[in-house]
Amino acid sequence: MIINTAWKNVWRNRTRSMVVITSMTIGIFAGIFTVGLMNGMMGQRLDAALNKEISHIHLNQKAFNDNFDIQYTLDDIEKINAAILSVEGVEAVANRVVINAMANTATKSMGVQVLGINPDQEMTILDLDQTIIPGTGSFFEKESRSNLAFIGEDLAKELNIIRYKIEQSTIDSMRTREVPDEVLVKLEPYIGKRFSSQKAFQKEMKSLLSPHESHKYARIILEESWSFRSRSKMTLTFIDKNNIQTGGMFRIAGIYDINNSMFEKSQIFVLNSDLQRLTGLNENDYHQTIVRITDIANTELITESIIEKFKNLEIQNWKEIQPELAMMSGMVEKILTAFMVIILAALSFGIVNTMLMVVLERTKELGMLTAIGMNKKKVFAMIMSESVFLSLVGGVVGMIISWIVISLTASKGINFVGAQEGFEAMGISSHIYPSITNSFFIIVTILIVITGILSSIYPARKALKLDPAEALRTE
Amino acid sequence: MKNLTKLIVLCFLFVPVLSFGQRGLSATEIIEKADDKFNGEESGISVMAMTIVRPTWKRTVEFKSWNKGTANSLTLITAPSREKGQTFLKRGNEMWSWNPSISRLIKLPPSMMSQGWMGSDYTNDDILKESSIVTDYTHKIIGEEIIDGRMCHKIEMIAHEDAAVIWGQQIRWIDKKDYLFMKAELYDEDGYLIRSEIGSDIKTMDGRLIPTRIELIPEEEEGHKTIIQIKEIEFNAPMDDKFFSQQNMKRVR
């Protein structure tokens, strides 16, 4: 009975209730959608880090990570591999030669870490073969007489392997993409000129085009002028087994893009056989073994049992290699819940305000109800239910809208092109696929009900304090 | 950096040799002869000034260096006063630096050699000299030109497919009479000019004819340039191997 009355009371002043409900709807939608974006972003980062960058567990000599000394190879690699694979929950292992080197091209040199891998083994752990920029080659699929290197997009840009160049053909293909002639005419003097960096190219284009033109066409021009010379070469200089400077010429096998500029700039993949030959290491000399496990929930357990087997080696799981990932995966739900609580706290003031108005407006009516024998408990329950209805109706509508919007955008994702550079510096793709768990909706529902209850306390107390005799006399 | 001295003293010094009509020489032989000439010195003591030019500033570093063969060299910075007294020692494949203001002797890892020496435009490859202009390239005479009043062979050098060379090709101008490298243009694999090296002010020093001013211009960076001037040079002065020691790094003046 009380609940029924409360529901009807909500709709006695439609406009006022709708204002509160709408603010609730917007607040909840904004909150949940932001949470969905952040959740998607974190999920993608974790996925990229584990499947494309670090894998799950690393194993190496204890002093190796201090300065990557070439001497710290693992003894009896076959035995190590077999022992790790025998641990339950381990999916695959791969061995790597790891060397710090200097990469040089005619224009620039950069310090890099060279990872000597066996492509077949590596592919069971990381999805690097799926990150190749189309048209730049393959993940060591083609045989070659020369040494091959698989490098990141950002390093390729730094070393001028990817460069920006305008040619007649680029102008023609821009024409087919509906870049107007007056822009093309401006570009024509640049035919044959090469820009060594994206920044220099963008700067030149900005000064060349009007703000309107550059806003509209800069992206197309950038995409069309991007060029890559297949089988480009670079030299790698490093220290061999006897601490003597050595090096070799490597041709580019392919360029990968994992939307993480730090990783792309610093990690080069080459065949371990090439690296072992150039450094004078033996065929079975490796510095690092990386491990993939079937379920990351078991990370700690599996790490423990591997540590058990190799007491004198350094074993680190992904949570130790990149603590911020562990923080992210563990804390994200809590942080996002806190975020919702803050939004709801702000919204609750709106509800308090409305309910206060309700109580003041109905002083006479409430006095009447008490006078004819409605007890305090029931009055309190009625006001509280009204407040809960207000928040719940708005909340549910907000949740439905956000669920629909997240489902719609989840498959295609949202691309924050403008902020790409910033995102990639943090190791996150600018193309975000929002995602949300069902349990989060349950948490939010509970929070909304609590908000309704809490924000009714003050108005309800006001109602209870009314003296029925006096209340009846007010007009 | 280990080879800075070698680079300067040896790379651009040439012994004038009686040349018997160069008609019969092939492109490779010319390069070989010129290369031999600047790597052919037994030892040398030189005083040089290096000017680094950047779009907004310019600075000059002066130094004195001793070298013996290709393995040993010792370089002492004499100006500016902020860096005065710093020495660099190279023995074989190893290299050390002594900094008197902090009294520290540092062994230089290869990664530290990546930056240009004292901020100049010399790259890793110049200093490490892992490639050889004789064996890593295919040479071809493509003409003759007058550079700085001297008749030169113009030789095109295309890098071998597998050679550990960062360049795609080079064009070098070699003086017909004295086999001096007068000018070099270095191109990347796309055929873009990346760097020019120009020798000038040819003078006789300690009995040998050498270009005493060398200009290095990174073509893609506007306003950048490094100029080296050889002020004094003495060839084949007797020098003990012991001279190139860590103790001597702190003593040498």
Q: What is the ipTM of this complex?
A: 0.71
A11 with A129, same domain: the answer is: no
Q: Cβ B168–A100 below 8 Å, yes or no?
A: no
Residues of chain A with pLDDT under 70: 475
Q: Quick one: pLDDT at residue B11? A: 45
Quickly count helices (H) and strands (E) in chain B: 4, 13
Which of A186, A204, A228 is at the close of a domain? A228
- Domain tally for chain A? 3
Nearest CA in chain A to B115: A109
pLDDT band at B15 (very low <50, low <70, confident <90, very high): very low
pLDDT band at B125 (very low <50, low <70, confident <90, very high): low
| Percentage, residues of chain B above pLDDT 90 | 5
A214 with A100, same domain: the answer is: no
A209 with A242, same domain: the answer is: no
Buried b (16+ CB within 10 A) or exposed e, B120-150: bbbbbbbbbbbbebbebbebeeeeeeebbeb
A147 with A256, same domain: the answer is: yes
Q: Mutate which of A107, A166, A194, A201 to disrupt the B interface (most B C-beta within 10 Å)?
A: A107
A62 with A128, same domain: the answer is: yes
A192 with A89, same domain: the answer is: no
Q: What residues of chain B lie within 8 A of the CB of A100, using their CB?
A: 111
Q: Cβ B194–A106 below 8 Å, yes or no?
A: yes
Of A106, A110, A248, the CB nearest to B188: A106
Q: Residue A209: CB partners within 8 Å, gap ≥ 6?
A: A183, A186, A217, A218
A189 with A308, same domain: the answer is: no
A19 with A33, same domain: the answer is: yes
- List the CATH number of the domain containing B126: 2.50.20.10
Q: Quick one: pLDDT at residue B39? A: 66
Structural domain containing residue A255? 57-160+230-318
Token pair of B75 as six digits: 């370089």
Q: Quick one: pLDDT at residue B128? A: 55
Q: Quick one: pLDDT at residue A438? A: 87
List Cα–Cα distances, A102 to A251, B115, B197, in angstroms. Answer: 15, 11, 24
pLDDT mean over B103-119: 69
A335 with A443, same domain: the answer is: yes
Which of A208, A228, A248 is at the close of a domain? A228
Please count the residue pairs, one from chain A and one from chain B, whose beta carbons lie less than 8 angstroms apart.
Answer: 67
A330 with A460, same domain: the answer is: yes
Of A111, A196, A248, the CB nearest to B114: A111
Highest mean pLDDT among A389-403, B120-134, B174-188, B238-252: A389-403
3-state secondary structure chain A: CHHHHHHHHHCCCHHHHHHHHHHHHHHHHHHHHHHHHHHHHHHHHHHHHHHHHCCCEEEEECCHHHHCCCCCCCCCHHHHHHHHHCCCCEEEEEEEEEEEEEEECCCCEEEEEEEEECHHHHHCCCCHHHCECCCCCCCCCCCCCCEEEEEEHHHHHHCCCEEEECCHHHHHHHHHCCCCHHHHHHHHHHCCCEECCHHHHHHHHHHHCCHHHHHHHHHHHHHHHEEECCCCEEEEEEECCCCCEEEEEEEEEEEECCCCHHHHHHEEEEEHHHHHHHHCCCCCCCCEEEEEECCHHHHHHHHHHHHHHCCCEEEEEHHHHCHHHHHHHHHHHHHHHHHHHHHHHHHHHHHHHHHHHHHHHCHHHHHHHHHCCCCHHHHHHHHHHHHHHHHHHHHHHHHHHHHHHHHHHHHHCEECHHHHHHHHHCCCCCEECCCCCHHHHHHHHHHHHHHHHHHHHHHHHHHHCCCHHHHHHCC
User: Which has more pLDDT, B117 or A370?
Assistant: A370
A9 with A125, same domain: the answer is: no
Q: Cβ A160–B123 below 8 Å, yes or no?
A: no
Of B114, B162, B194, the CB nearest to A109: B114
Residues 91-120 of A with CB under 8 A from B: 100, 102, 104-107, 109-111
User: Which has more pLDDT, A341 or B127?
Assistant: A341
- Domain tally for chain B? 1
Residues 215-244 of B with CB under 8 A from A: 220
Structural domain containing residue B95? 4-251
Task: With a cut of 50, say whether residue B22 has pLDDT above it.
Answer: no
Which of A263, A291, A318 is at the close of a domain? A318
Q: Quick one: pLDDT at residue A475? A: 67
Q: Cβ A235–B93 below 8 Å, yes or no?
A: no
Q: Quick one: pLDDT at residue A21? A: 92
A335 with A436, same domain: the answer is: yes
pLDDT band at B126 (very low <50, low <70, confident <90, very high): low
